[in-house]
Structure 1
Amino acid sequence: MTEIRLFARVRRGVTWGCLAAVVAVLVPVLPGRAEARVPEPTPLDLVVAVDESGSLAVKDVRAEIEAAATIVQAGLNPRTRVTVLGFGSANGTSGRAVTQYCRPTVVATAEQLQYLSNCVKGLHPRTEAEGDDTDHGAALSEALRVLRSGSPSNALKRIFLLTDGQTDISGSSSSGSGDRDAEAQRLLRQRLATARSEGVGIWPVGFGSEVDQAGLNRFAEGGAQRGCDGRAESLPRARRVRDSREVARSLVAAYAAASCLRISPPSEGDLRPAGTLELPLAVPGIASEATLTVAKGDPRVWVEFIDPNGRTAPSNGSQGRSAFTRSGAGGTIETLRVVAPLNGTWRIRLTAPGGVARQSVGAVAMYQGVIRSALVVERPQIRTGEQVTARLSLVTRGGYVQDPKELRGLSFTVTATGQALGVGRAVPMRDDGQAPDDTPGDGSYAGVFTAPGAPGKVTLTGSVAGDGLRPDGNPTATINVVARPPDVQGEVRFPGGTTVHPGGAVHGTIQFHNSTPRTIRARLLLRAPPQAQATLAQGTPLTVRPGGSSYPFEVRFGGGAALGRASATLQLADESDPAKVYLVKQRTISVEKPPGLLERHLWQILGGIALIALVLAAPWSKRHARRVRADVRSLRVALVHNGEQAGRELRPGRGKWSDEFPFIIRDIESNPLLDEPRGDKQALVARHTADGRVKVCRPDGTEFQVGFGAESEPVADGVRLVFRSVPSRYAPSGLIRLFTRGRPPKSPPIRDPKSSSPDSFKTIPSDSSDDWL
C-alpha cells in the first residue's frame, strides 16, 4: 500500500495540524477566467463522516479535524459539494448517533470555503452523556440521506469514513434488548447494499490499535465500485495508519485516488530568521488546473509564487494563458490556484522578517489534467495481410512532453475492430525507440497492425489513461483493407534527422509510387503544436506522375519556437478531394536551444589558444633548447696514452647546469690520468659546438675540436682525448625540438688502436654513477 507523504519530516514543536493544513486549503476561492478554456475537473458530492467515540484522545480529534479540513477544501471543481458529520452512538441523552457539523455546501465562493474551515472545528470527543460508542451504520444512513438530494450534476458520490474502532453499540437502547452488536452488523450490511445500489463509494481510513483491517475492507468493498475512471486504482480501498498523526496524509491519498487527482512530490525545508528559502514544485504539462499550497509556519512570512519562466505570479487575474486566485495571506497557509498553469518547475520563495523564529516550511501541488491524444495510421489504405504502423501520441495543453517522467503511470492502448476481425484485437504499442517507434520517451507510441485476410473497414481506437487524468475522448482512425495494392503508395523520410533549432528547418523527402496511368495532384499538409511555429516551406500542390518519384520538403520552425519535443503530423491528401488521404506520417521533432558562441567555435578557439601558446612559448623554448645543447653534464672524456686507455672516464662534477667541462691531466710525463681541476688554473675546458662536436681550450688559449668517439690531436707526447655523450634527462622535449636545428649525434664507440682493421672499435664501459642521470 503506497501512501502519499506530504512532507518527509516535521521539526519538533510544529503540530501535525500545520502539516495537514498544507493541503487543507488547496482551493480557497473561485478561479478567474483564463484565456484558454479547459474542461472542468471532476465534481464530487462528498460526505466526511468522523468518528467522535469516547476512545478518542484530544490529539486524535484534532488530527481528524485537520484531516477533514484538508479534504473539504481540496476539490478543484467549484461545483463540488461537501458535508461533514460526526458520529458516536444513540445511547446519550440526545438520542442521536450522528451530528451534522457542516451543512451540505458547494465550494463556490471564498465565504463558503471559510464556512467549511470553521464548522469542522465543532468536532469533538463525545462524552458518555452524548453517546460515546461507535455506530457506523447510523453514520452511513445519514450520509446516504444527504447524498440522495441536491447532488451536483454528474458528481461522483463519495463517503469518507474516519474511525478508530469497530462497531460497538452495546450500550444503545435504541437497538433493542437483544444482541445489539449483531443487530448493528445486520443494519450495516443493509446500508452497504444501499450504498452500492445508489452508486455511493465508501473510502474508509482507520487508525489506532483497535481497527480491524477486515472490517475496513468490508466498508470499501460493500459500497459502489465505480471509480472516476476505469483503473483499478480509482476504486474504493481501505487505508489503515499507525496513529492519528498520519490520518491527514492518508486521507489526502484516498481523496486523490477517489477524484482522479495527482499530488506532486512535496518540498520542504527550514526557514531561518531574516532568511529566504525557495521550495521547488513540479507542475507537468498534462495539468489543466493546479493548486500550489505552502505551509509557512508564521503569518508574517512573505510568500512569492514564481512560474517556470521566472515571473512572479499575480495574486488574481490573468497572465498569459493562465488565470490566478490567491488566498490565505493573513494566515499560516497560502494557496495559489492556477487555471492552465505553465508546466515546469515552480518556485515558492519564502522570506522571513527579523524576529520570526526558525520555521519548518513545506509546499505541495495538487493538480488534475485533461488528457488528449491523437491516433494516426501511416497508410489509410492497405492490402489484405499487409502491415501498417499506427501511432498514438499524447497531446498536452502546451503541445510538448517536456519530461519523460510525465509519462510514468500512463497506459497507451490501441484496439482494432471490424467485421473481418470478429472480436477486438489489441495492437501492441511501444515508446522505447525500438522499431516501429522513432524516439524513446516522447509520448508517441507506435505499433504494427496486420490487416485481416478479407477486405473491409477496420477501426482503430486509442486510449490513454493515468492517475489524475481525464481523457477528452478516445481518438479513432479508419483503415480501408483492399484486395489489391493501393494505387498510390508512399513513404516519408528524414535523412538529415529530426533535430532543429528555433529559426531552422527539418528536411525530408517523400518517395511515391503511382501505379495508375494518370497524373495525380496532391497537397502536403502539416499539423503541429502552435508553440512550435512550424510551417511547410513547400506550399504548392505536388504533381505525382505515373511510376516512381521523389519530392523534397522542409518544415521550418519560427525563431520563437518553444524548446522541447513536438509531435508533427504530415498528411498527403488529394488536391481536389482532401478527404482522400494517400499517406500520413507522424514524427517527433526535437527543438533544441541553439549552441552558444563557445560551443559553435570551440575547436577554433582551442586552436587559437594553442597557436598563441606556441607563439608565446617560442622564445623561451629556443633559449631552453640552446641551454640544453650547451649543457656539458652529458659529456664523458677518456684519456688514451700510447694507444691504450689510461684510467677511467671522467665526468663533469655533479652540480647545476654549466656550458664548461674543466679537467686536468696529472702526471702527464710519467703516468697520465684525468682528474678534476680543484682550483687548478691550468685546466683544459671542454664545450659543445653548434655542429655537434667538442671544443677543447688549452690553458694557453689555443683550442682544438674533436668529434665524438674520435681521438683528438695530441695534448702531450702520446696523450690524446676521446669524448662521448650519454643520454640525459635534460634533453629537449618534442615541443622544444620544434625550435632546434638538430640533435647531438650519438656517441660512436672508440676505435681500438691495437686492431689492424680501421673499423675495429671497443666500447668504453660507463661508470655506475651515471645512473643519476
Structure 2
Amino acid sequence: MRVTSSFTSLFALTVTAAVVLFPTAAQAGLPRRAPSDVKPVRVVILVDESGSLSGQDVARERAAAQLIALSELSPQSQVSVVGFGSSNGPGQSAVDIVCPLTGVETAQDRESLSRCVERLHRRGTEEGNDTDHAAALEQALDIMNKPDDQQRAKIVFLLTDGVLDVGNSPQYGADAQARNRNAQAQIGSGLKDAERARVQIWPLGFGSADKTSLDAFATGGWRQPCGGQESATPRARVVANSADVERSLLEAFAYARCAGIEESVTDSLDAGATVDLHVNIPIIATDGSIVVVKRDRRIQVTYFDPAGAQVPKQGEQNDSTFQAAGESGPVESLRIRNPLPGKWRIQLKSPPGVQRQDVSATVVWQGALRASISLSNPRPRPGEQVAVRLRLQTRTGTITDPAALEGLRFTARMSGEGFQELPIDLSDTGDGADRGEGDGEFSGQVAIPASATGALSFLGRVTGPGVAGDERPYATRVAGPADRLRAQVQLDAATVEPGAEVSGAVRVTNDAGPAQLGLRLVDVPGTVSLSAQQLQAPAGASEHAFALRIGAGAPEGRIGGVVQVVDATGQVVAEEFVDVDVRPPTPLWQRLLQALLILLAIVAVALPFLLVRRRARRRAADPSELTLHLFDRPGEPYISRLQAPLGEGPEFTFEVSGGRLVRTYGTGYTVRRGAGQAVLVRDPSGQELDPLLPGRPIALPGGLYLGVDDGRARGAAAEQPAYGGREPYQSRTHRPMPGDDLL
C-alpha cells in the first residue's frame, strides 16, 4: 500500500472561535444558541480546455472538479464549474458554464454537479482552443457578484496547463502582442475587483503553466481567508503532471475553506478483486467528507465506521447523518455530519473485466466547535481574583482528549469600563495535566483592576487547524455596594446511563432580604433538563438541591455546557461546568451477570461464617457427651447408665425397662440439650419434665430417679472438677454392671 504525504505541516489552518462571557441572549434570560455549522462557501472552478491538453489531462481535470463539487462540507454552499479556452472567431465563446451555480444540499444536487462536470472537454480549433485567463476570471467574478443572503466565503480555483494566450482573439486588439498586453491589463483590473469583493484565487498549474503568472492570481485576490494567518493565504501551485492535480487541488480546497485534510491512502485494485483503504477522522471533526477516487464508475464502495459497522449511504445511524454522491461516476464521496471519530474502513470492489486501477481515499473535515467559558465569580468586585475557565465543545459533547486538543490554542482577554484590555494566560491545569492527561479545561487567574467601574467582559478564543469557530459576546458588570448576594454551584463530574439524574446543589449567602433566583442550562443538549427552574433564597445562608435529568434518549458521550444561577434581572451570580459522561444502558444479560457475581461474592463472604455458625449450633446441640444415670434414690450409686449415641442428631430416645436404661427408636423418653447445662427431657406422652442438670436428678414414675453427667462441662472445668473432685455418680460396685447400656 502506498500512502501519499499529507503536507500536514503546510496546513496550519486557523480560524478564530471567540466567546465572550454573558452574551446578549443571556442578558435577556435566554440560553446561548446551539453550535454553528461549518460556514458555507461559494466556489467557482475554472478549468482549462485549451488544445494543448491531452485526453488524460482532461480526465484528470474532470476528476479534480468533481472532487471539489463532491467534497464540500456545508449543505448551504454553492459550486459552479466553468470551462475556458478562447474566442477566436464568430460563434465562439472563451468561457463555457458547464455547471451553473448549484447548491450542494441534497444528494441529487451533488449528483447533478458530478454529471455536468463530464461536459468538460478538450477544445478543437473551431471552438477556440487557446488560453484566455482574462475571460475566465471575468466570468468567475460575475458569478461571485450574484446576490448572496448567506454571506458565503468566495473561492476561485484556476486549473490550467498553459500561460495566457489570446493572440488569435480579435476582441483584445489589432495584433497578437497588443492582445496579450490588453488581456493582462484586464486581468490586473479583475484582480483588484476580486480583492475588493474578498474573493480568494487558488491557481493550480501543470504541464507548461508559468508559476510567475499564476502567483499574480494568488496574490492579487483576497488573502485573509482564515483569520489572516500567513500559512493559510492563497498561493499558486504547479505540479509535474496532471496525475498530481487531484491531490493538489483537494489540498488547496481544504486550505481555502479553512478545513483539515488527512493523508490520502492509495492502492491498486485488480479486476474482480477487493481492497480496503483505511482513513482517519479526528475527534475534533464535526463534519467530514470521505472522498474516493475510483476512476471506473463500475467499482463499488462500502463504508465502515471505527466500530466496524457498515454505515448507510443515505440517512442516519446513531447520531450521524450520511449523504453519498457520485456513485455512478469516477469520484464518489460520503459526507458525514457528526462522524464517529477514529479509523474508517473503505472497501472497494471491482467487478470482473475492469482494468486494474489505482484507487485512493482522502478525508476532508472541519470542526464546527464552540468554546464554553465560565467565571469562578460572575459578579466580581474591583481588586478580586477571578478564575477564567475555557472548554471546547462539539455538537455532541465536551472534548477532553489531550491528543484531540493538541495544536489548538486557548486564549482570553478581559476588558471593561475604567481600564485597558488585559490578556489572560490560560493553561491546562486539570487533573493529570502534568502527565498529558488533561481534562480539556484551560483556566487562568486575573485580578479585576481596582479602577473597574461598570461593564466587564471576558473574551475567550480557540484557534487551530480545521476549526470553524463561534464568536458570541457575553458581558457582565463588577459588583457594587448593593450586591449583597453570593452563590456557588456544586455539581460534580458523573458517569451515568440515559434516564439517570445527577445531583447538584446551590449554596447561597444572602445578606439582604429574601430573593428569587433562577436556574438555567447553557450550551447543554436538549436531552438534558433541570429538576427546578427557580429557587427562593431566604436571608442568611441556605442550600438548595437540584438535579440534572439525563433524558432516556441521550446519546453516548460526554455532555458539556454550564449550569447558571441568575438573579431577577437576569445577571449571572454563579455558574459551573457540566461534566457528565453518558454510557449506553447496561444490557439485561450483563445486569443479570453482575447481579449473579454480586450474589456469588456475598455467598463467598457469608458461607464460611454460616458454616461456622452451623457447626457451632450443631456442636451446641450435640448430645453425644451426655451420660444418663438411673437411681433408686438421690445420693445413692446409680443402678444403670446410658451413653448418648454418636452422630444421630440433636436428640435421642430411651425407656426404663426392668430397672435399666434402654436405648429405643421412635418412642419413649426424648432427651436433647437446652440452654446452658440444662438437659431437656420429654416423657413418652410428650410432657416436658423438669430441666435435668448435672448433679441434680429428677423423679421418674415408679419411684426411680434420672440424673445426667455432661462430659463437655467437665472438660471445660477440668481444673476445677464438679462435685468436689469426685465422679458425680458412682455405681454400687464402682464398675460397670451387666445391666448398663453402653452405646
Q: TM-score, normalised by structure 1?
A: 0.60
The question of whether the paired residues in 1 share the 8 Å contact of 2:86 and 2:95 is answered with no
Task: Give the corresponding residue for 1:106.
Answer: 102
Instruction: Output the CA distance in 2 between the equivalents of 1:196 and 1:512.
Output: 56
Q: Does the aligned pair in 2 maintain the 1:427–1:447 contact within 8 Å?
A: yes
Q: Can you list the C-alpha shifts for 1:347-392, whole angstroms capped at 9, x where unaligned? A: 4344567787876543333344433332222212222122211223
Q: Does 1:61 align with 2:58?
A: yes
Are 1:189 and 2:188 counterparts?
yes
Q: Which whole-Å CA distance do the structure 2 matches of 1:250 and 1:277 have between them?
A: 24
Deviations 1:380-433 (A, max 9, x none): 2222122211223223111232644443554444332322124x3333333354
User: Could you say what secondary structure the match of 2:311 adopts?
Assistant: coil
**Residue 459, structure 1, aligned to residue 457, structure 2:** yes
Alpha-carbon distance in 1 for matches of 2:574, 2:435: 18
In the alignment, the residues of structure 1 paired with residue 554 and residue 183 of structure 2 have an alpha-carbon distance, to the nearest angstrom, of 66
Match of residue 173 from structure 2 = 175
8 Å Cα contact 1:81-1:152 kept in structure 2: no
In 1, Cα distance between equivalents of 2:307 and 2:475: 37
How has the CA–CA distance of structure 1 residues 87 and 7 changed in structure 2, closer, same or farther, with 3 Å as cutoff? farther
User: 2-side partners of 1:117 and 1:320: how far apart?
Assistant: 29
Kept in 2, the 8 Å contact 1:284–1:406? The answer is: yes
CA contact (8 A) 1:389 1:436 kept: no
**What does 1:537-556 align with in structure 2 at a 5 Å threshold?**
546=540
Bigger mean CA offset, 345-354 vs 579-588 = 345-354
**Corresponding pairs, count:** 568
Residue 304 of structure 2 is aligned to residue 306 of structure 1: yes
For residues 267-286 of structure 1, what are the structure 2 equivalents within 5 Å? 267-269=265-267, 278-284=276-282
Q: C-alpha separation between the residues in 2 aligned to 1:556 and 1:45?
A: 42
Q: Pick from 550, 554, 562: which aligns with 1:569?
A: 562
Q: Amino acid of the residue matched to residue 365 of structure 1?
A: V
2:442 corresponds in structure 1 to 445
Cα distance in 2, alignment partners of residues 479 and 332 from structure 1: 59
| 2:474 alignment partner AA | T
Alignment of 1:341-740 (within 5 A): 341-350=339-348, 360-401=358-399, 403-422=401-420, 424-431=421-428, 433=430, 442-454=439-451, 455-482=453-480, 487-489=484-486, 498=493, 500=495, 502=497, 516=511, 529-530=524-525, 546=540, 564-567=557-560, 569-573=562-566, 577=568, 579=570, 581-586=572-577, 588=579
Match of 1:200 in 2: 199
Q: Is the 8 A contact 1:370 1:469 kept in 2?
A: yes
Structure 1 557/523 Cα, relative in aligned 2: closer, same or farther at 3 Å? same
Inter-CA distance 405–546: structure 2 relative to 1 (3 Å threshold) = same
- AA partner of residue 583 (structure 1): A
State the 1:584 CA deviation.
1.9
Return the alpha-carbon distance in structure 2 between the equivalents of residues 315 and 343 of structure 1. 18
State how far apart, in whole Å, the 2-side matches of 1:274 and 1:170 are: 50
Q: Which amino acid aligns with 1:197?
A: R
In the alignment, what sits opposite 2:255?
257
2-structure distance, mates of 1:426, 1:322: 38
Measured in 2, the distance between the counterparts of 1:220 and 1:360 equals: 31
Matching of residues 54-133 of structure 1 within 5 Å: 54-77=51-74, 80-90=77-87, 92-94=88-90, 98-107=94-103, 113-114=110-111, 116-126=113-123, 132-133=129-130
| AA aligned opposite 1:99 | V
Q: CA deviation at 1:7?
A: 7.4
> 1:150 Cα shift?
6.2
CA 1:275–1:38: 2 relative to 1, 3 Å: farther
One-letter code of the match for 1:185?
Answer: Q
Kindly state the Cα deviation for residue 208 of structure 1 after the two structures are TM-superposed.
3.8
User: Closer, same or farther in 2 for the Cα pair 1:580/1:225, shift >3 Å?
Assistant: closer
The residue number in structure 1 matching 2:728 is none
Asked whether the equivalents of residues 111 and 325 of structure 2 are also in contact (C-alpha less than 8 Å), the reply is no
1:286–1:453 CA distance, 2 compared to 1 (3 A) = same
Report the counterpart of residue 625 of structure 2 in structure 1: none
- 1:458 is displaced (CA, Å) by 0.5
Q: Please tell me the residue identity of whatever aligns with 1:567.
A: G
Q: CA deviation at 1:266?
A: 4.0
Aligned: 1:8 with 2:3: yes
Letter aligned with residue 574 of structure 2: L
Q: Provide closer, same or farther for how the CA distance between residues 114 and 296 of structure 1 changes in structure 2, counting only shifts above 3 A.
A: closer
Structure number with greater CO (CA < 8 Å, separation at least 6) is 2
Q: Does the aligned pair in 1 maintain the 2:71–2:335 contact within 8 Å?
A: no
Alignment-mate amino acid for residue 290 of structure 1: G
Query: In 1, distance between residues paired with 2:474 and 2:431?
Result: 24
The answer as to whether partners of 2:301 and 2:349 remain within 8 angstroms in 1 is yes
Query: Which residue identity lines up with residue 562 of structure 2 in the other structure?
Result: T
Alignment RMSD: 5.0
Give the drift of 1:249.
1.6
CA–CA separation in structure 2 for the residues paired with 1:565 and 1:320: 15
Structure 2 stretches of 5 or more lacking a match? Answer: 6-32, 605-743
The CA distance in 2 between the partners of 1:559 and 1:129, in whole Å, is 68
The Cα shift of 1:98 comes to 1.4
Aligned-pair distance for 1:457?
1.8
- For 1:62, the aligned partner's letter is A
Q: 1:398 to 1:475 in 2, by over 3 A?
A: farther
- The corresponding residue for 1:218 is 216
Q: Aligned partners of 1:37, 1:321: CA distance in 2, in Å?
A: 16
Q: SS of the residue aligned with 1:248? A: helix
- Partner secondary structure for residue 381 of structure 1: coil
In structure 2, what is the Cα distance between the partners aligned to 1:227 and 1:490? 43
Q: Is the 8 A contact 1:257 1:467 kept in 2?
A: no
- Percent of aligned pairs with the same amino acid: 33
Cα distance per residue 1:75-120 (max 9 Å; x no partner) = 3445544433333445x44585713151524145666645543444
Secondary structure of 2:362's partner?
strand
Three-state SS of the structure 2 residue aligned to 1:59 is: helix
User: Quick check: 272-281 or 56-65, which moved more?
Assistant: 272-281
Q: Is the 8 A contact 2:430 2:442 kept in 1?
A: no
Q: 1:386 to 1:591 in 2, by over 3 A?
A: same
Distance 1:474 1:297, change over 3 A: same
Q: Structure 2: which amino acid aligns with 1:421?
A: F
Using the TM superposition, give the Cα deviation of residue 473 of structure 1 relative to its aligned residue in structure 2, in angstroms.
Answer: 4.1
C-alpha deviation, 1:305, in angstroms = 2.8
**Alpha-carbon offset, residue 286 of structure 1:** 5.3
